[in-house]
Structure 1
Amino acid sequence: MELLCTRPGCTRPENSFADLDDPSKLKTVPQKYCTNCGMPLILGGRYLPSKLLGKGGFGAAFLAKDRFTPTMRSCVVKQFQPQGNLNAQALAIAQQLFEREAVILEDLGSKHRQIPQLYAFFPLIVPNHLTKVEEQFFYLVQEFIDGEDLETKLKRKGIFTEGEIIEVLDKILWVLQFVHDNNCIHRDLKPSNIMRDKKGRLYLLDFGAVKQVTATVGNPQKHSTGIFTAGFAPPEQMQGSAVYPATDLYALATTCLNLLTGKPPEELYDSYNNCWNWKPHVSNISDGLANILDRLLLPSPKDRFQSASEVLQALPSSQLYGGSSGTKTSIQTPVNSTVSSLPPTSPPTISVPNPSPITPSPKKGFSSIDLIIYSGFNGFEAVILIFSLKKFLAAPGVVIGFMIVSGLMYLQYRRTLDKKDLLLIGTITVCALMIALVFGGLAWNSVSFLLMAGLVGGAGLIAVASLFKLIYQLLSSIF
């Protein structure tokens, strides 16, 4: 097996170990060391780096395997490795951002399927092979997303259509709404930080620049750490001022301009007139989408849309869903932000003044258990009501029965009725049948028939609903 040394500057990082190809020894073999510089190769005792994915401003990213998982799960190992001659303050901020990325991924990645999960975060202290002085490295291990980032896709296939832009907006806005609802701001949105996996799901990557919001009323934070990518960041971020949800929305709009035109944002901005001039570079774009992008690109944060949900409501042809379905799996784009406009004082407290209220994310769909319970209940009630009302009201009874069951289904869809309410309604129905049996002269065989028919109706509706759900999942995985 080939292992790659992660020490910066190692002149011969490739290493080969035949015993690692033996599955019976792979999980128990002791630490391996670089034959050139002596750097430990099995990171954290379990991660086997095999390929350099890329380098950025704060680190390098490696493709690796986890030897302690049954399938040798692929993962991305990011090493804190700041480039350039950073002063002590800039180095401290860079390390703070790297550690913050681990914290954010542990929190958000475990809750949202379009954000990579964190697997591990650990330091490594080793002697320098030349100076013999101890060096400290930090590693972050996260989910590997097997796919292509939008920057690479733009270079490969050319500019995006309006429909493709609307899809990107629709899916990424839901992720941003989730991020903002969890009191975070991404601060580095750009095409290379949006990844589409092989199943078509879009992921939001690179949370190294994320700012956690801890707003204090009456005591707003005046400055923001100067982390951004030139051309994509809004004025308030480039000036080192406070950042808001609208800051991310501006960057998402510049991302869309880049994908629509194939040109970097700097070429679409008229610095002489101090305004955006992107429309001459785009053909066949609707006024609706153009107006949304123009508003997102306004220089003042207060004049833009204030939340991702507001943009979703205005978005033409929006599918209004919170991300695609499927299993998480992507190639992580390495960190490539730039450190700029660092404040002259110590690293700032991560806070922001009075962020705009954000509309809660949409309610989640029904689980499989919910589907069984609601389908069974609706089938049971439909049969009981239709047969019972038909006996007393003839044809109008069938219509009334359907109307009542339709109303119940609507209330379930709106989550007005929960499972306790269904139990109560079902109990009332059975009790009504028993009362009709005892006091209303209803024959026992009629009650037995109704109850049996209700159970059959419930089982039948469960089967039909399950079949439709299976068909929907199959079609979703294909398309």
Structure 2
Amino acid sequence: MSSYCINPLCDHRQNPDDTEHCLSCGTLLLINDRIRLVKPLRPLTDDPFNYFEVFEVDDAGTRWNPVRKQRVIKVLKWKSPKLVKLIEQESLTLQLIQHPNIPESTLDDFFTFVPKNSPLTLRCLVMDKFEGQNLEQWIEFNGKISQSLALEWLKQLVEILDTVHRSNFFHRDIKPSNIVLQPSGQLALVDFGTARRVTDTYLAKVSGSGGTSAGREGIYEITSVITPCYTPIEQINGRAVPQSDFFSLGCTFVNLVTATPLSNLPTEEKTGNLIWRKDAPQIDKPFADFIDELMAPLPGQRPQTTEVILQRLENLPKQIKNYRLANSNIFKYSKYTLMVLGFVGGVFLSIPLAANYLVAQGQKLEAANNSQSAQEYFDSAIKINPQVKNSISKFYFDKASRSTQKLRSAKKYYELSIKYNNQDVDTYNNLAFVCQLLNEFECVTTNYEKALKLKPDSWSGHYGLGTFYDDQGKKDLAEQQYQLAIKSNSQAIPVINNLSRLKNLKGDYNAAIALALQGLQKTKEPKLQAALYKNLGWAKLEQKKLSQAKEYLEKAGELDPQRADTYCLLAQVQEALGDNDNSWLNWEACLILESKVPEVFRWRGDVLQRIRLKPDSPQIGTNP
């Protein structure tokens, strides 16, 4: 076993394992008293365009990684500001995103090192190594994958991407060579060197606002990430968005199911879309349609979130089964038999019985996920007896309510329920909420507006519309809807809590305090109380009333120990009070606990940025 010298200017870098210093240049071989370079994972060359070197390392561990394990180090050789920024961004990305199939890297894993008698300052990033082959290598030896394996792998990758996107990042370079198949059968997503954080500044660059040279520079940085055949047009044009990852994901699976380089596949003359299905006969039409949807030319034509993709993947096996059934002779004969029975029932039975018979048959077909045939029966039943409309509407409403975890199905059923009864407020509200989860924004506003037109004083409708505007960052519109909801129902504590949080975000701290106190008088539910105490502490922190802020935030933590935002705020209070040891403990909780709240990601980013810029700061980063 050898030890390699980290100095890229060294003439002979391979050394015996028992050597402490490089025999050629004298550089220390044990970096930071913990890391020994075992073997290069890329060729070691003098090419000036080879900016990074990558080694497998033996890592003795730190307080963050106490277990000795094989890891990887990425070493930036040249001091280019853009390259320095890239490796710093990769370090921050891997610290913020926590997933077992994404490389782990902590605060101690990013550092600088100066080789002996060298003018270079090396920037080093250590991360976990995943054993196994990348999928580019795997496909080369194993050939195209089956439909069942494609469905399994796609689900695994989207679950990983779900964590990435929820952490406000997107990868920007998904391709088979950046996906590792581990011996366990699990996939890992690697190489976050080009990952991008979704920030207001980034969105401003993407939207083309500003028109300044700085804006053009931002676009130049974005457009530099291009992998031929895998990069969507908006990313090539400097306007990458999270849905750009879905395009690359679709291209990746075309490569996996065809075992053909994408550059060798023909394209449609007018659209430029890949023509690939004849090279993947094992893929049924519903799945092939979905892969093509992932690769749609425009981001808005692709699924909008990872959650939507996971819901679609859950339904795909049934759709594939029904597709095969619908194209079989048995199904065709069965369909005609049922239609004849329905006709016989209409002739020989009484009208109500015939209609009920058709409704029952329709329900059975819907239960088998054959919606088109089910609606044929329902429409026939209504022609015989229009009074069955309400029972059909209720059937679909109940089915939608049981499908809230399957958003696409729930949406379809709510829409069908409205088709048979367009006067039900709850159906419109529920449909709007499902559309909000699916990020179908026009559907959200349209259905909330229809619900409020039917019942203007519906507090739940105003609350739902308010949360939608809140998520979109439209604070004034959100506040207007929250006020209307409270006017309709002064006991609606979730609305009071949301409005209090919104007041804090807008800097109206006195109003936030008044609302939080109002809510605390009206609820005994611990989690709601915790949220309200958190809002109180937040407002007091911003008003520099630190003792009161600390008291309220500690109370919030006692009532609900799983709220990340409480710990983020309490850490800031303790920093301001000079209690650095407890502040650090609360920052750790802030970083570790799960949260979907935007301000939590902002606070996490701020503290990690401070730690990175000031690693020796006495306020943060020391373990008591």
**1:407-432 CA distance string (max 9 Å, x none):** xxxxxxxxxxxx999xxxxxxxxxxx
Query: Which contiguous aligned blocks of 4+ residues in structure 1 show a shift greater than 4 angstroms?
Result: 55-58, 68-71, 216-220, 356-360
Q: Distance in 2 between matches of 1:172 and 1:264?
A: 20
Q: Distance in 2 between matches of 1:200 and 1:42?
A: 34
**Retained in 2: the 8 A contact 1:149–1:196?**
yes
Matched, 1:209 2:170: no
**Retained in 2: the 8 A contact 1:148–1:197?**
yes
Correspondence for 2:153 among 168, 193, 200: 168
Residue 470 of structure 1: aligned partner: none
Which amino acid in structure 1 is aligned with residue 15 of structure 2? N
Which amino acid in structure 1 is aligned with residue 264 of structure 2? E
Matched, 1:75 2:71: yes
Q: Distance in 2 between matches of 1:357 and 1:33?
A: 60
**Retained in 2: the 8 A contact 1:54–1:62?**
yes
- Secondary structure of the residue aligned to 2:29 is coil
**Higher percent of residues as strand:** 1
Residue 412 of structure 1: aligned partner: none
- Secondary structure of the residue aligned to 2:112 is strand
Shift of 1:42: 1.5
Shift of 1:80: 1.5
Which amino acid in structure 2 is aligned with residue 246 of structure 1? Q
- Secondary structure of the residue aligned to 1:98 is helix
**Retained in 2: the 8 A contact 1:254–1:297?**
yes
Which runs of 5 or more residues in structure 2 are unaligned?
A: 44-48, 209-218, 319-434, 440-524, 528-624
Residue 244 of structure 1: aligned partner: 241
- Secondary structure of the residue aligned to 2:38 is strand
**Retained in 2: the 8 A contact 1:175–1:204?**
yes
- Secondary structure of the residue aligned to 2:88 is helix
- CA 1:102/1:285 → structure 2, altered by over 3 Å: closer, same or farther? same
Which amino acid in structure 2 is aligned with residue 142 of structure 1? M
Q: Distance in 1 between matches of 2:4 and 2:204?
A: 49
Shift of 1:266: 2.1
**Retained in 1: the 8 A contact 2:77–2:120?**
no
Shift of 1:268: 2.2
- CA 1:217/1:105 → structure 2, altered by over 3 Å: closer, same or farther? closer
Residue 34 of structure 1: aligned partner: 22
Shift of 1:147: 1.9
- CA 1:287/1:139 → structure 2, altered by over 3 Å: closer, same or farther? same
Which amino acid in structure 1 is aligned with residue 70 of structure 2? S
Q: Distance in 1 between matches of 2:286 and 2:51?
A: 39
Matched, 1:116 2:84: no
Correspondence for 1:298 among 296, 299, 322: 296
Residue 234 of structure 1: aligned partner: 232
The residue correspondences of 1:304-319 to structure 2 (distance < 5 A) are: 304-315=302-313, 316-317=316-317
The residue correspondences of 1:70-469 to structure 2 (distance < 5 A) are: 72-81=68-77, 91-108=80-97, 111-119=98-106, 120-126=109-115, 134-215=119-200, 219=204, 221=206, 222=208, 223=219, 224-240=222-238, 242-270=239-267, 272-273=269-270, 274-315=272-313, 316-317=316-317
**Retained in 1: the 8 A contact 2:37–2:58?**
yes
**Retained in 2: the 8 A contact 1:154–1:262?**
yes
**1:221-244 CA distance string (max 9 Å, x none):** 33334213222111111122x211
Q: Distance in 2 between matches of 1:264 and 1:57?
A: 25
Which amino acid in structure 2 is aligned with residue 256 of structure 1? F
Aligned length: 300
Q: Distance in 1 between matches of 2:159 and 2:89?
A: 22
Q: Distance in 2 between matches of 1:302 and 1:198?
A: 37
Matched, 1:54 2:47: no
**Higher percent of residues as helix:** 2
**Retained in 1: the 8 A contact 2:171–2:245?**
yes
Q: Distance in 2 between matches of 1:210 and 1:5?
A: 29
Residue 45 of structure 1: aligned partner: 33
**Retained in 2: the 8 A contact 1:226–1:237?**
no
**Retained in 2: the 8 A contact 1:180–1:358?**
no
Shift of 1:309: 1.7
Q: Distance in 1 between matches of 2:287 and 2:148?
A: 10
**Retained in 1: the 8 A contact 2:304–2:438?**
no
- CA 1:233/1:35 → structure 2, altered by over 3 Å: closer, same or farther? same
Q: Distance in 2 between matches of 1:311 and 1:43?
A: 44
Shift of 1:220: 5.3
Q: Cα RMSD between the aligned structures? A: 2.9
- Secondary structure of the residue aligned to 1:141 is strand
Shift of 1:103: 0.7
- CA 1:73/1:139 → structure 2, altered by over 3 Å: closer, same or farther? same
Which amino acid in structure 2 is aligned with residue 125 of structure 1? V
- Secondary structure of the residue aligned to 2:81 is helix
Task: Tell me the TM-score normalized by structure 1.
Answer: 0.57
Q: Distance in 2 between matches of 1:9 and 1:236?
A: 40
- Secondary structure of the residue aligned to 2:30 is coil
Q: Distance in 2 between matches of 1:126 and 1:357?
A: 54
Task: Tell me the TM-score normalized by structure 2.
Answer: 0.45
Q: Distance in 2 between matches of 1:113 and 1:161?
A: 25
Q: Distance in 1 between matches of 2:51 and 2:154?
A: 28
**1:101-150 CA distance string (max 9 Å, x none):** 11111111xx321211104110112356xxx6x11111111112222221
Q: Distance in 2 between matches of 1:208 and 1:180?
A: 16
**Retained in 2: the 8 A contact 1:44–1:122?**
no
- Secondary structure of the residue aligned to 1:227 is coil
- Secondary structure of the residue aligned to 2:120 is strand
**Retained in 2: the 8 A contact 1:75–1:143?**
yes
Identity %: 28
- Secondary structure of the residue aligned to 1:290 is helix
Which runs of 5 or more residues in structure 1 are unaligned?
A: 21-31, 83-87, 319-355, 361-418, 422-479
Q: Distance in 2 between matches of 1:80 and 1:101?
A: 12
Residue 13 of structure 1: aligned partner: 13
Shift of 1:71: 6.0
